[in-house]
Amino acid sequence: MKMKIALFSCVLAFLFGLCSFSYADSEVMPYKNIKWDISDNGLLTISGAGKIHDTEYDLEQRKVLVQPPWLEDDIRYKIKEVIVNEGIVYIGKGAFSNCEGLQKITLPESVSELGEGAFAACRQLASIVIPSKVKTIPKRCFADNINLRYISLPEGLTSIEYGAFYWCDNLAYIELPDSLKNIGEDVFSENLKLKEIRIPRDVTSIPDYAFAKCPELERAELPPALKTVGTCAFEGNKSLTEIYLPDGVEEIGECAFAKCYQLEKLYIPESVKAIGKEIFLISDKAVIYGFKDSYAEKYAMDNNLKFEAVTESMYTEPDYSVKRFLKPEDIPNANEKKPVISVTSINGQLDISIEGSPVEFTDAVPFIDENARTLVPVRSVFESIGCDVRYDEVLQAVNIVGKNTIIMISPGVKTIIVDYSAFPIDTEAQILNDRIFLPLRCIAEALKYEVEWKDL
Residue 133: per-residue pLDDT: 98
The CA-atom distances, in angstroms, between 333 and each of 122, 328, 404 are 21, 10, 19
Return d(Cα 86, Cα 78) in angstroms, integer: 23
Burial of 416 by CB count in 10 Å (0-12 exposed, 13-18 middle, 19+ buried)?
Answer: buried
* DSSP reduced 3-state for 129: strand
pLDDT, one tens digit for every residue, the chain (456 residues): 333 333 333 433 433 444 444 444 455 556 678 999 999 999 999 999 999 989 887 767 667 788 899 998 789 889 999 999 999 999 999 999 989 889 999 999 999 999 999 999 998 899 999 999 999 999 999 999 988 999 999 999 999 999 999 999 889 999 999 999 999 999 999 998 899 999 999 999 999 999 999 989 999 999 999 999 999 999 999 899 999 999 999 999 999 999 998 999 999 999 999 999 999 998 889 999 999 999 999 999 999 999 999 999 999 999 999 888 877 777 776 556 779 999 999 988 999 999 999 999 988 999 999 988 999 998 989 999 999 999 998 889 999 998 778 899 999 999 998 877 778 888 999 999 989 999 999 999 888 888 998 887
User: At 7, phi and psi to the nearest 5?
Assistant: -60, -40
Q: Is there a contact between 258 and 235 (Cβ–Cβ < 8 Å)?
A: yes
DSSP one-letter code for 369: -
What fold does the segment set 340-455 form as a domain? Copper Amine Oxidase; Chain A, domain 1 (3.30.457)
For residue 206, list its beta bridge partners: 229
Are the CB atoms for 212 and 8 separated by under 8 Å?
no
Do residues 418 and 444 touch, judged by C-beta distance below 8 A?
no
> What is the C-alpha to C-alpha distance for residues 105 and 118, in angstroms, rounded to an integer?
12
Which pLDDT score is estimated for 29?
56
Residue 403 CA neighbour count, 13 Å, CB half: 6
Long-range CB contacts (< 8 A, 24+ apart) of 350-356? 350/374, 352/376, 352/381, 352/440, 354/381, 354/384, 354/385
Delimit the domains of the chain by residue range: 340-455
How far is residue 201's CA from residue 302's CA, in Å, rounded to a whole number? 33
Q: What is the predicted pLDDT for the residue at 100?
A: 84
Based on the number of CB atoms within 10 Å of its own CB, is 21 exposed (0-12), middle (13-18) or buried (19 or more)? buried
Integer Cα distance of 375 and 432 in angstroms: 11
- Dump the DSSP string for 137-190: E-TTTTTT-TT--EEEPPTT--EE-TTTTTT-TT-------TT--EE-TTTTTT
CA distance linking residue 347 with residue 359, whole number of Å = 18
| Cα–Cα dist 101/91, whole Å | 19
pTM of the model: 0.74
For residues 166 and 141, the answer to whether their CB atoms sit within 8 Å is no
Residue 21 pLDDT? 47
